[in-house]
Structures are given as structure tokens and as C-alpha cells.
Amino acid sequence: MVAIEFKVSESGRARPEKNPRLGFFVYLLGSAAIIGGFLFGYDTSVVSAAMLYVPEAPGLKPMGTVWKEVIVSITPGMAAVGAWFSGAGSDRYGRKPIIIGSTIIFIAGAVICAVAWTKIVMLIGRIFLGVGIGFASMVVPVYLGEASPTHVRGTLVSAFAMMISFGQVVANIMGGVFSYWEPYTIGWRLMFAFAGIPALIQFICFIFLPETPRWLYENGQTERAKEVLEKIYSGDTEWIEYELAEIETYAEERKKQMEEEKKSGPVIWRILKTPHVLKACFIGSMLQAFQQLAGINTILYYTADIIRSAGIENYHTIIWISVILSICNLIGPFIPMTLIEKFGRRKLFLFSCAGVVVSLILIGVSFLLVGNDSAPNFQLASYSLAGSYDPKHPEAASCLSLSNCDSCVTSEHCGFCEDSETRTGFCLPVNHNDPTLWSSTGLCSSGVDKSNSSFPNGKQRLGYNLLHMAKHHCTTSYTILPIVMMGVYLLTFSSGFTSLPWVLNSEFYPMWARSTCVSISTLSNWVFNLLVSLTYLSLTHAITKYGAFWLYAIFTIIAFIFIYFLVPETTGYSIDEVEMLFMNKRQRNIAMQIRQAKLDDKEKPNNSSNTLSTETITM
């Protein structure tokens, strides 16, 4: 990712001047592999639209806050597990078998979610999808990096990342389409089932695609590796020999690294004993944690719920607004792609971070305005007029204590019985069998004659249709504000915060520690993803919706300060130079001596008297 063009590779062989011709095989390989990115995006985002209907679906209701959070968050939680085990599995069994395994898991997860008849079955399906996402997120980029022509590797890996965002857009589009087809019984099932189609296509393609040449070579299958390279480079002998030399050099370096590990212990132990690498790993892991603490997956996983709480009642409208917001998330990454080398990682990161802080504060202000503008909750003296209201109901007191419609619908156990003409009403305990239709007591309970009831303002009820039970939204003049601010948030977040933690983690570490440190930072990302997605609804109940977004803003302010003082600029530096940015002055001087000694050794091949080593830097 650095702005340096290398004419001579690490193998010492000159890179061919002319790029190889791209044949049908490369297009097939690239297209099949990036489906993994699409499935990643689709299966993490489809839950947003589906969860409008799943909690009210026969066999799955009632579904409380904890169940909703678990069903949403179990997928990223299991993705962390899948990602952790996929690395070792792909090294032992190959990249191709793990990708095929992920497609089978994706198909199984889609089918289980689609046919789920209880909450437990739905949870099992979401677990399958999480493991599939974990496999795909780790192994597909490795497959693309090892099995695609050198000059398009960066493009294909970037395409995988873009397909994640594209999958999120398609998830919302398909949610909108299927929401018109009996959504409480069939529509939400089709939303989950659709993911099985691209997974099946990927499965069929990978049956005929080969293992990567690098894995084949490292596992003693040299001839098969050459055959695969011939397909990748369309028989271009010069490029085949160049790539084979690169693979041989890498294999030799890997063998030396393994021998070094035997002498100095496991890589993780070397990291702990090397202060500048440990520092880099800590900073990289914190960047991944801050990415999640900024609330991005709250917005992505709970998009529909947030739009609904802003005051949109029609579920079809909610889903189509979600499509527009997901497009904002899709187009945002084009900003760093065009500006990252011009302005540098650090400036772009700080700009994105500042934009996220402002947008989170404004989202919170928007929800504060929504809350203050919502209808007041009439107090106890008025409840005697509210139909068959039972003050001894177990949840009556807690609903009675809430001040207005917004605080009422935020509570898991309460809903707002509202006069749609006068925007006045009562906060009543919901009927958990049909929480969007009825209260369990009072004027909006089933069986009450609403036509002869009156509200505390003395207005006689004119008919049944003027009164409705609101469980998730309130009528307000500020509905559009939170939605617009969410769009601004997604644009500013995706303009830097989305990609830069990954870019910087790919550059921070020396070769011997890179795999382990990237795995640790990736685990940090998934763990905080789980934490944020598992707690959002509970946070809104505990500290209100605006309080939750202001909490994310506080975390992002801390991230801004962290980046400003601790994250170095890496643009234009080689990997060795980036490593030195994390050293103190003494360590940096020693590293420079080592580099100079290595250069002297290259000029004098017979000189083997250099006694400096990288272990010296740890002292």
C-alpha cells in the first residue's frame, strides 16, 4: 500500500516489463472468489430488514431485547471464531477446501434461517452464517493474493472489500422486494434464503478451480504449482518463471523463519520481547477496536430499527430508506482510494474521525429533538378515563413513570396508545403476543370499545381508526433529521475509518510478526464488533438513543486523540522504514546499523563477519 514502485523483486529477478494477458481463467477465478465478499456483506446486513418482521413471526414471538441482540450479534461473534481457526486450517488443508467449506456453511446457514420455526433454530442458522463469514473474511483475500496475476492482485483484493459493501446494498434491496410478499410468514424467510444462491454458485465454481500455486509449492507439489501458474499467466513463460522464483524465495524465507522460531520460541513470545513490535501491535489492535466503538455496526445491523425509531411507521419505506443509506456506505470508500497517496493515511484518518464525531453528535441531537417533540404521557389522574386500565398490572407503574412517547416506545415492555388527530395518549404495557397492535390493559387493549371512550382533553372518540398503538415509533416533526445525519455518518466513516485500520495494520509489522499481529488486530475488530452489536438496544433502554450515540462520539474523540499522538504517517515508507517509526532513538540507530551491514554484505558477498542481528533491537 506504499507509494513505491519496485523494479526488482525480493527474489532478485527483474520484473517483466510487459504485463501478462488476462485470460478467461483469471476472470472466472476473480469473480468466483469475490462472491465471498458479497456473502460477507449480505449476511451481516440482511438481518436489519428481516428483524422488522422476525420478532412478530409465528413461532418466534414474543422476542425481547436480549433475544434480538443475540440473534443480531451472534453472527459477528462466531465470525471471530471462524476467522481464528481458518488460518491454521487453510495452511494445513489448503485455501480451496476452506473456501468450499465456507460455501457449504453459507448454504446451510441460509437454509436454517429460512426455515426457522423457533428462536433457537434461528440462532443456530445465524451461528452457521457467522462461521462462514469468518472463513471467507480470512481465506478469500489470501486465495486472491496467491492465485491472481501480480499486476491485478491489489485490484482483486480491493474488489473483495468493495463486494462487502455491495452485498450490504443488495441485502437491503432484496429486503425491500421480499417485504411485499407476506413478510411476517414468507418474506423474511426469502430474505435469508436468497444468500444461498450466490453461495451455491461459488461452490460450483470452486469445484473446478485449482489450489493456489504458493500452497502447492510449499507442500511439495511443484509440478501442479507450475500447471496452475500456466493457467494464471496464460502460458507467458517469462511471467511464470518470475512468479515461480518469487514463490521459491518466499518458501525459503518461510523455512528460515520457522527455524528462527525454534531457536527463539513462538512468534507471540518474540513479539512480547520486542518493544517496538509490541507497541505497533497494540496501536493496530486499538485502531480496529476504535473502528467498532465508533458505532458503525450499530448503524449497519440496526439500520431499520433506527429509522423506525426516528418516526417512520411504514416498513416498506423504512427498508427503501435503508437502501439509500447503504449506497452512502458503498460510495464512501472511493474517497480514500483516490486521496490516500496524495494526502497520506494519517491526515485522511483524522479527517474521517473528526467527521464521524460531528455526525454522531448530530445524530444524538436529532434523537433528542425527536424525544422532546413526541407526545406527552398523561398521568395517573387521567388513566381512569383510559378504557379498562388496570393500575395493578405488573408493568403499569414503570410505563406510567415515563414522560413521553419516545421514552415509552424505547422501553421493552411499554407502548404508546395515541390519538392520531391530537397527538396525545397514554404509555401502556404492551400485549407481548401482538405488541404492535394491542396494549395488555387500557384503551388500546383488545376487546375495548374505543368508540365510546374519551381522552383527558375531553374530546369524544369519533371512531376506532383515530386511535392506534405505537410500539416502536412516535409522531414527530424531526423524523428526517436522524436519517440525514446517518447518511452523513456513513459517508464520513467510509471515507477513511472503514479501510485505514486495515491498511495501517498491513504496513505496521515486520515480516516475521505480520501474520500473528494482523490476526490479533483482526480478532480485536471482531470482539468489539460483537460487544457493540450485542449492547446497542440495551444501551438505548439504559441511557436513551441520543445517549448511546453520544457515547459512541466520546469513544471516537478518544480515537482522534489516540491517532493524533500515536499513529505515524506511513505513506512513502518501505516496510523496514515503517518498523523503525515505532522504535525509540537508540533502537532506531541499531536498526540503521543492521541495514547498513546488510548492504555492505551484498556488496561483499564473501564477507560473513556481520554479527548484528534483529535480536539486538529488543535489548
Residue 514 grid cell: 505480520
Closest CA to 522 of 142, 79, 73: 79
604 belongs to a structural domain: no
DSSP string, 325-363: HHHHHHHTTHHHHHHHHHH-HHHHHHHHHHHHHHHHHHH
Instruction: Report whether 372 contacts 501 (CB < 8 A).
Output: no
State the DSSP H helix or E strand holding residue 407, giving kind and residue range, or none if neither. Answer: helix 405-410
Q: Look up the CATH number of the domain holding residue 43.
A: 1.20.1250.20
My answer on whether 369 and 391 are in the same domain is no
| C-alpha pair distances (Å), 219 with each of 17, 476, 515 | 30, 65, 19
Sign of the Cα torsion 428, 433, 438, 443 reads: negative
| Cis peptide leading into residue 62 (ω within 30°) | yes
451 belongs to a structural domain: no
Q: What is the pLDDT of residue 602?
A: 53
My answer on whether 362 and 258 are in the same domain is no
490 belongs to a structural domain: yes
- Cell 525480493 sits at which residue? 10
My answer on whether 200 and 342 are in the same domain is no
Identity of the amino acid at 326: S
Helix, strand, coil percentages, rounded to 5, for the chain:
70, 5, 25
My answer on whether 361 and 391 are in the same domain is no
CA distance 281 to 269: 13
| C-alpha pair distances (Å), 250 with each of 9, 87, 177, 247, 574 | 11, 18, 49, 5, 18
Instruction: Report whether 356 contacts 550 (CB < 8 A).
Output: no
489 belongs to a structural domain: yes
597 belongs to a structural domain: no
Q: What is the pLDDT of residue 341?
A: 65
CB atoms within 10 A of CB 285: 22
CA distance 224 to 130: 33
Sign of the Cα torsion 395, 397, 398, 399 reads: positive
Cα 311 to the chain's mean position, in Å?
A: 26
| C-alpha pair distances (Å), 475 with each of 350, 364, 508 | 37, 18, 50
* Strand pairing report for 467-470 and 414-419: antiparallel
| C-alpha pair distances (Å), 274 with each of 45, 89, 277, 283, 581 | 40, 28, 6, 14, 14
Q: What is the pLDDT of residues 438-493, one digit of tens each?
A: 788 877 876 655 444 444 444 334 344 467 788 888 888 999 999 999 999 999 99
CA distance 570 to 576: 11
Q: Which domain holds residue 405?
A: 380-446+464-470
Identity of the amino acid at 282: F
CA distance 407 to 510: 52
CA distance 497 to 479: 27
Closest CA to 45 of 232, 180, 191: 191
613 belongs to a structural domain: no
Q: What is the pLDDT of residue 504?
A: 86
Closest CA to 582 of 493, 508, 503, 488: 508
Q: What is the pLDDT of residue 417?
A: 86
State the DSSP H helix or E strand holding residue 366, giving kind and residue range, or none if neither. Answer: helix 345-373
Residue 461 grid cell: 372518540
Listed in sequence order, the residues at least 6 apart from 273 whose beta carbon sits closer than 8 Å to its beta carbon are 618
Instruction: Report whether 260 contacts 230 (CB < 8 A).
Output: no
Three-state secondary structure readout of 496-527? HHCCHHHHHHHHCCCHHHHHHHHHHHHHHHHH
Residue 362 grid cell: 448530530
Partners of residue 460 on adjacent β-strands: 454
Instruction: Report whether 236 contacts 21 (CB < 8 A).
Output: yes
Partners of residue 428 on adjacent β-strands: 415
Cα 591-593-598 angle, rounded to 5 deg: 95
Identity of the amino acid at 505: N
Query: Looking at 162, 192, 208, which one is the last position of a domain?
Result: 208
Query: Looking at 233, 264, 295, which one is the last position of a domain?
Result: 264
Listed in sequence order, the residues at least 6 apart from 255 whose beta carbon sits closer than 8 Å to its beta carbon are none
My answer on whether 100 and 29 are in the same domain is yes
Sheet holding 467-470, edge to edge: 424-429, 414-419, 467-470
Residue 174 grid cell: 432484496
My answer on whether 432 and 327 are in the same domain is no
Q: Is the pTM of this model over 0.95?
A: no
My answer on whether 406 and 538 are in the same domain is no
Helix axes 334-343, 500-507, angle to 10 degrees: 50
My answer on whether 328 and 352 are in the same domain is yes
510 belongs to a structural domain: yes
My answer on whether 109 and 33 are in the same domain is yes
Q: What is the pLDDT of residue 454?
A: 47
Spans in the chain with pLDDT lower than 70: 1-13, 154, 261, 336-337, 340-341, 379-388, 435-436, 446-466, 574-576, 588, 591-619
My answer on whether 426 and 349 are in the same domain is no
Backbone angles phi, psi at 460, to 5 degrees: -75, 135
Residues in the chain: 619
Instruction: Report whether 304 contacts 52 (CB < 8 A).
Output: yes
99 belongs to a structural domain: yes
How many domains does the chain divide into?
4
Instruction: Report whether 137 contacts 203 (CB < 8 A).
Output: no
CA distance 609 to 594: 12
My answer on whether 282 and 243 are in the same domain is no
My answer on whether 367 and 499 are in the same domain is yes
Residue 268 grid cell: 507471540
Partners of residue 415 on adjacent β-strands: 428
